[in-house]
Amino acid sequence: MNLMANILIQVIIAFLAGSLLLGLHRKIMARVQRRPGPPIIQHLLHSLKFFFKETGFPKTVSKPFYIGITFILALIWVVGVIAGPVAHDSLLILFGVYAVYKIVEHNSGSSSGSPYGKLSCVRAVLSAATELPLFAAIVFVYLVTGTMNIGEIITYQSVHGPLIYTIPLAALMFFMLIITKSPYSPFAITKDKALISGFETEHYGLLRGFMHFSESIAWYVMLWVFLTIFFGPLNAVGYLIGMIVITFITGFINATTPIFSPNHSVMTQITIGAICFFGTIVMIFTGVVA
Amino acid sequence: MDFVTLGGDLLGTIPLGDIVLYINPFNLFLFAVLLGFTFLIAISKPETQVEASKFNTLGVAEVKVDEKEFRQRRFLSIICGIASAGAMITGDLFNFTLFMALVGILNIGIVSAVKQTSVLNSAFNYGLIAMMCSLPLFGGAAIILASTGTLSLAVLSQMPASPMVVFGAILMLIGILGESGVAPFFASKAEMFRTPGSPFIVIIHLSSLFIIVRAVEILLLVLW
């Protein structure tokens, strides 16, 4: 297939699937909490609605950043789709995409001049604790497979079996990242309701539309990467089932846990990350990992 | 281990003796993003930060960056962006440590002109950590040079890792963690972000994170 057509199709799939999965996430949370909840399609409708709303600019903003950051956010997740589902390129590029995502989260909060955005920005710096487990998980995948290339990791798993059985604790570290980035997560300190909508508080209309677009693609890409590097070669049905199951698990966790305070959130993430890190090292040195 | 395995297919090299600047999709992505943000910083004016003024009133205080401070911080931020971009494509271990140290100094410089005590305290604490960590950073690179005879990543990536190289790499990792102020050192740095001047403080976070991302590639190249 033509590369550009492939990219376009994959981006559209990522947006639609991500939106519906986030809608499903909300529905699951609502049902666990014994509420009817919005229809599954609601997140998609919200995203589309924002593109047609009037866009306002607070007078306190740093305008090039305030506007540019939303487009950068959308662009980097499109790069994530290209590096992942389209090209099966290096995992390091996706690590880079995630790092830029953190920056954008940080900057969209601070560029508005809002105290809520500012506090969200400071918390984004603290929540950098999630990056180290992600880095460790990627390094362990590399140590076992000998490659960072997603295509080669898939090939490795088709021969040796899914990596979830080889390095389960590394998979758990990656799953922590997915929980952290899921809506209403106990670790979502940057979007704590005490901060209204956190770094998104002062972005309206078209700009918020781009943020929703990016959120949907981000959710799809993170689930895709997790399933691809830990569950081996999957077909479209396998991905669909895997994504629904993970969305269900995170929805259940988020519906039943309150949001942590920033200190507790960071310490919990670091503790789980450290246990998984040293656990995997012990598994490697004791020969449990081949 | 070679560049291709880690960052995607090699797109180009600039050979300077045995030191080879190289670009693969991974490096290119980081390099382009950094230059993009540096451009945005160059054309942006800082936001006006709104804060509660007095307890028990509805008044708000507007904190602005004055013109002189703005020019100084913008200059340092642009230099920081360029130094970080250089660290993304360099093929030389020592150049990387130099860029890293420069980024650490610039990070402190960017917030040194502000007048908020808590921010200056945080910058001072971060400065102490950065200074202490410059020893293992450069020491690690020196040990790798002494044990292998080269600082070229292209050559190092083809060499088996001796115990001294592993020791040097661990020292470098400690140095990079401290200089960039990520976990477990981020607590010293977080308060720095409370200052107004969004375009300038974003480069502090961006340079730290990208240096860590690049350091992952470099350490894997050296060790495996």
Q: What is the pLDDT along chain A (290 residues), one digit of tens a residue?
A: 688 888 999 999 999 999 999 999 999 999 999 999 999 999 999 889 988 888 888 888 888 888 888 888 888 899 899 988 898 888 888 888 888 887 887 787 778 878 788 788 778 777 766 677 787 888 888 888 888 888 899 999 999 889 898 888 889 989 988 998 888 888 888 777 777 777 777 788 888 888 889 999 999 999 999 999 999 888 999 999 999 999 999 999 999 998 888 888 888 888 888 888 888 888 877 876 65
Task: Output the six-digit token pair for B68.
Answer: 């002189």
Check if A6 contacts B (Cβ < 8 Å): no
Nearest to A129 among B44, B45, B183 (CB): B183
Check if B58 contacts A (Cβ < 8 Å): no
- Residue A199 CA to its chain's centroid (Å): 16
Q: Which chain A residues are closer than 8 Å to B25 by Cβ?
A: 83, 89-90, 93
pLDDT score, position B18: 64
pLDDT higher at B137 or A110: B137
pLDDT score, position A3: 83
Place of tokens 């081996």: A232
pLDDT score, position B118: 81
Residue A262 to chain B, least CA–CA distance (Å): 12
Task: Write the DSSP symbol of residue A167.
Answer: -
From residue B112, give the alpha-carbon distance in Å to each of A206, B75, B123, B136, B161.
36, 13, 7, 25, 41
What would the 3-class secondary structure string for chain B be? Answer: CCHHHHHCCCCEEEEECCEEEEECHHHHHHHHHHHHHHHHHHHCCCCCEEEECCCCCCCEEEECCCHHHHHHHHHHHHHHHHHHHHHHHCCEHHHHHHHHHHHHHHHHHHHHCCCCHHHHHHHHHHHHHHHHHHHHHHHHHHHHHHHHCCCEHHHHCCCCCCHHHHHHHHHHHHHHHHHHCCCCCHHHCHHHHHCCCHHHHHHHHHHHHHHHHHHHHHHHHHHC
pLDDT tens figures, B77-115: 899 999 998 888 888 888 889 988 888 888 888 888 777
CA atoms within 13 Å, Cβ hemisphere of B73: 26
Whether B148 contacts B169, CB under 8 Å: no
Task: Output the six-digit token pair for B60.
Answer: 């708000």
ipTM: 0.78
Residue A12 to chain B, least CA–CA distance (Å): 22
pLDDT score, position A219: 94
CA A4 – CA A9 distance, rounded (Å)? 9
Residue A42 to chain B, least CA–CA distance (Å): 33
Whether residue A125 and residue B189 make contact (CB cut-off 8 A), yes or no, is yes
Give me the residue spans of the domains in chain B.
3-223
CA B44 – CA A49 distance, rounded (Å)? 30
Nearest to A113 among B30, B50, B209 (CB): B50
- B22 bridge partner residues: B13
In the chain, the amino acid numbered A55 is: T
**Exposure class string for B162-183: b at 16+ Cβ within 10 A, else e:** eeebeebbebbbbbbbbbbbbb
- B49 bridge partner residues: B63
Whether residue B43 and residue A148 make contact (CB cut-off 8 A), yes or no, is no
Task: Output the six-digit token pair for B164.
Answer: 């001294």
- Burial class from Cβ neighbours inside 10 Å (0-12, 13-18, 19+) for residue B146 reads exposed
CA A268 – CA A99 distance, rounded (Å)? 21
In the chain, the amino acid numbered A172 is: L
pLDDT band at B7 (very low <50, low <70, confident <90, very high): low
pLDDT score, position B30: 86
CA angle B186, B188, B193 (to 5 degrees): 80
- Closest by CA position to A273, among listed A284, A265, A283: A265
CA atoms within 13 Å, Cβ hemisphere of B60: 11
Nearest to A113 among B47, B205, B212 (CB): B47
CA B183 – CA A192 distance, rounded (Å)? 22
pLDDT score, position A290: 57
- Closest by CA position to B140, among listed B35, B44, B219, B57: B219
Q: Average the pLDDT over B34-59 and give the result.
A: 78
Check if B213 contacts A (Cβ < 8 Å): yes
Nearest to B8 among A64, A93, A118 (CB): A93
- B21 bridge partner residues: B14
Q: What are the two backbone dihedrals, phi and then psi, of residue A161, each rounded to the nearest 5 degrees?
A: 95, 165
CA B34 – CA B40 distance, rounded (Å)? 10
Helix pair A150-160, A205-231: axis angle to 10 deg: 30
Task: Write the DSSP symbol of residue A90.
Answer: B
- Burial class from Cβ neighbours inside 10 Å (0-12, 13-18, 19+) for residue A169 reads buried
CA angle B155, B161, B166 (to 5 degrees): 115
CA A188 – CA A259 distance, rounded (Å)? 7
- Closest by CA position to A174, among listed A73, A253, A277, A263: A277
Check if A164 contacts B (Cβ < 8 Å): no
Check if B59 contacts A (Cβ < 8 Å): no
Reply yes or no on whether the pLDDT at B4 is more than 60.
Answer: no
Q: Which one of A65, A127, A202 would you mutate to disrupt binding with B, by most B Cβ within 10 Å of its Cβ?
A: A65
Q: Which chain A residues are closer than 8 Å to B30 by Cβ?
A: 96
Place of tokens 């083809």: B158
Average pLDDT, chain B: 81
pTM: 0.86
pLDDT band at B187 (very low <50, low <70, confident <90, very high): low
Listed in sequence order, the residues at least 6 apart from A285 whose beta carbon sits closer than 8 Å to its beta carbon are none
Whether residue B199 and residue A62 make contact (CB cut-off 8 A), yes or no, is yes
- Residue A246 CA to its chain's centroid (Å): 12
- Closest by CA position to B47, among listed B190, B191, B205, B200: B200
Reply yes or no on whether the pLDDT at B2 is more than 70.
Answer: no
Whether residue A93 and residue B210 make contact (CB cut-off 8 A), yes or no, is no
- Closest by CA position to B156, among listed B139, B143, B138: B143
pLDDT tens figures, B12-35: 777 776 667 778 888 888 888 889
Task: Output the six-digit token pair for B9.
Answer: 């297919």
pLDDT band at B53 (very low <50, low <70, confident <90, very high): low
